[in-house]
Amino acid sequence: MAQANTTKSPGRNGHDPAATVDDPGASASPSRSLVEKAWRELAGVVQRRIPRADLDERDPDFIREQLPLFWLFSSVWFRGEVRGLGNIPDEGPVLLVGNHSGGNMIPDTMVFSVAFSTYFGVERAFYQLAHNLVLSVPGLSWLRKFGTVAASPSNASKALSSGAALLVYPGGDYEVHRPSWQGNRVDFGGRKGFIRLALEQNVPIVPVVAIGGQETALFLTRGEGLARLLALDRLVRLKVLPISLSLPWIVNVGDFGHIPLPAKITIETLPAIDLRAEFGPEPDVDEVYDHVIRLMQDALDALAAERRFPVIG
Amino acid sequence: MRIKHDIVVAAPVEAVWSIISDPERVLSYMSGVTRWEVAGDIPAGLGARYRMLFRIGAAEVGGLIEVVESSEPYEFAWTSVTGLDQRGRWRLREAPGGRTKVELRLAYGIAGAGISGWIAEHIAAPSVSGHVRQTLRQLGRLVEHEQLRERAARRRAGAPGG
């Protein structure tokens, strides 16, 4: 899952492929040129694999039939506990803003999505923004039936305009791969697109605070330097190439999947924030950002204080 | 998955019925239920609809249910309209000594969920069963307590100088 980032003109998936595939700063040397060309080819393949964003692909019957399976993972493996769903308005569009944890296996998203779908019913439209790469992975096309669409401002606006609930993780790949010892820190990396989105669409923000995801593996580093070295940011919008200790790989570079440890996942949904009611007709984005981060960090600190042991909870 | 438990309550069948047929009192005795709200124009009886949720594991499950049978004071049954597939039934029968045998039946599942649905139903069963038993105990205590209060009120009203 990923952030509602800012791109210019949307392409077939709500992204601008040219901005990521065609890199004007090419080739300083023949060997570098070759490597960059190979990367561009790979990026092109990835871009072509990203499905067209179509909200109609969400399939309530499919979600309903899969809920028992995800309920099992959520209840038995992660001993999930989701509180405060009553804070989400019963109807109408709403922007759910979460802190993201657990690497690419995103246990917090699964636990929350199951709880949301059972609480409000699969009939309530609910979408989640995900990183391009997630949607381009072979075998994960079923995510689209769950309402997962590529992260982009146009897709986010489209979902909210349709009256749906939308779950975004502003911290995206940056936050989800933070080291395990920073597990109790809300870190959006300064990404504020979600606030502009809420203001444009005039929808309330509901913070969703989760703990436990960063205990499902030992996350060592985001590997930002490695990602820069391999030009992943320019090619596939990846700012990180994380390194962790996880099952079954032991040393896991890139996190192309792992078996998460059965850490207890606790999620607290905070009261809805009506930005214009709380911050006036023209809210200051920085002020709102600081407020949301402070609220979420306080809630995360409280959840952390409840935990006695890592993994066990 | 079907779950069924019963209990004998020291109260007449009408007293038990007055509580189980009142949607406003459901949260006071139904264990595990976190929401039970009237949804629609009919607040109680045949055709009444409720939005209910029941905490089980990591989620609150339930949905919209409708009362499909209401034979005062013996049978009260509902079935799901949306959400988790479920059927529930209160079955009240007179027992010796002016008491009432109260039976609560619950059947639940997700049609089309396959093997994962079957496993989930069975894993949830002990917890659901515990909630059904607890519901009956709480209902029994509530009804018997009200009976005692009524008797005490009658005694006070009938007592000289009372």
CATH of the domain at A185: 3.40.1130.10
Give Cα A125 to chain centroid, integer Å.
18
Determine, for residues A115 and B58 on separate chains, whether the beta-carbon distance falls below 8 Å: yes
- Non-local (6+) Cβ contacts of A163 within 8 A are A92, A93, A125
Using CB atoms, which residue from A65, A75, A123 is nearest to B57?
A75
Binding-face residues of B in 101-160 toward A, CB within 8 A: 110, 112-114, 116-117, 119-121, 123
| pLDDT (average), residues A151-179 | 93
- Picking from A59, A62, A70, A72 by the largest number of B CB atoms within 10 A of its own CB, the best residue to mutate is A72
- pLDDT score recorded for residue A7: 39
- In the predicted structure, residue A107 carries a pLDDT above the cut 60: yes
Does the CB of B60 have a partner CB in chain A at under 8 Å?
A: yes
Reference A270, options A292, A287, A250; nearest CA is: A292
Residue A3 lies in a domain: no
Reference B141, options B2, B23, B7, B5; nearest CA is: B7
| pLDDT (average), residues A103-113 | 91
Residue A136 lies in a domain: yes
The answer to whether A27 and A34 have CB atoms below 8 angstroms apart is: no
Residue A11 lies in a domain: no
Please state which CATH number belongs to domain B2-158: 3.30.530.20
Q: How many domains does chain A have?
A: 1
The answer to whether A226 and A92 have CB atoms below 8 angstroms apart is: no
Instruction: Give the number of other CB atoms < 10 A from CB of residue B136.
Output: 20
- Give the CA-trace dihedral at A191, A196, A201, A203, to 10 degrees: 70
- pLDDT score recorded for residue A46: 67
Confidence of residue B162 (pLDDT cuts 50, 70, 90): very low
| pLDDT (average), residues A240-256 | 89
Q: Which residues of B touch A75 (CB under 8 A)?
A: 56-59, 123
Of A50-54, A192-196, B133-137, which range is least confident? A50-54
Residue A193 lies in a domain: yes
Determine, for residues B59 and A71 on separate chains, whether the beta-carbon distance falls below 8 Å: yes
Of A25-39, A182-196, A248-262, which range is least confident? A25-39
Angle at B1 between CA B114 and CA A64, to 5 degrees: 40
The answer to whether B112 and A65 have CB atoms below 8 angstroms apart is: yes
- pLDDT score recorded for residue A16: 44
Owning domain of residue A177: 55-216+260-306
- In the predicted structure, residue A53 carries a pLDDT above the cut 70: no
Residue A231 lies in a domain: no
Q: What is the pTM of this model?
A: 0.86
Place of tokens 């030009």: A231
Residue A191 lies in a domain: yes
Reference A164, options A130, A203, A195, A192; nearest CA is: A203
Q: Which residues of B touch A263 (CB under 8 A)?
A: none
State the nearest Cα–Cα gap between B63 and chain A, in angstroms: 7
State the nearest Cα–Cα gap between B135 and chain A, in angstroms: 21
Residue A313 lies in a domain: no
Burial class (CB in 10 A: 0-12, 13-18, 19+), B54: buried
Burial class (CB in 10 A: 0-12, 13-18, 19+), A146: buried
CA distance B25 to B43: 13
- Picking from B37, B110, B122, B127 by the largest number of A CB atoms within 10 A of its own CB, the best residue to mutate is B110
- pLDDT score recorded for residue A11: 45
Determine, for residues A76 and B123 on separate chains, whether the beta-carbon distance falls below 8 Å: yes
Does the CB of A145 have a partner CB in chain B at under 8 Å?
A: no
Confidence of residue A22 (pLDDT cuts 50, 70, 90): very low
Confidence of residue B42 (pLDDT cuts 50, 70, 90): very high
